[in-house]
Structure 1
Amino acid sequence: MKGRNRSNLNILALTDLTYQFLPAMVERRSGQIVNVASIA
């Protein structure tokens, strides 16, 4: 269960960070998002 919570945290953090940058990218009508994840 601990590993699942950590995975959920990593996914949610990545998603939240992406949504933080989206409004500025939409306003500029430009930008790229590169998400890199790893399971170790």
Structure 2
Amino acid sequence: MIDIYSMEVLVPSLVMIGAMSAAMTWGFFKVRGLMNEDKKK
């Protein structure tokens, strides 16, 4: 069973991990899009 203290510690870390993953994924597609645009020129 997870107690309140564990939740207070775990939830913010999981949120941060999710946010970092989302930012890295978005950055990857952004860079890939820019590289594809650059090849067309």
Runs of 4+ in 1 over 6 A off after TM superposition: none
With the length of structure 1 as denominator, give the TM-score of the two structures: 0.59
Identity score, percent: 3
Q: TM-score, normalised by structure 2?
A: 0.58
More helix by share: 2
Bigger relative contact order, structure 1 or 2, given CA contacts below 8 A and separation 6+?
A: 1
Residue correspondences, number? 29
Unaligned runs of 5+ in 1: 30-40
Q: Aligned Cα RMSD in Å?
A: 1.4
Matched residue, 1:5: 14
| Alignment partner of 1:16 is 2:25 | yes
Structure 2 runs not aligned, ≥5 long: 1-9
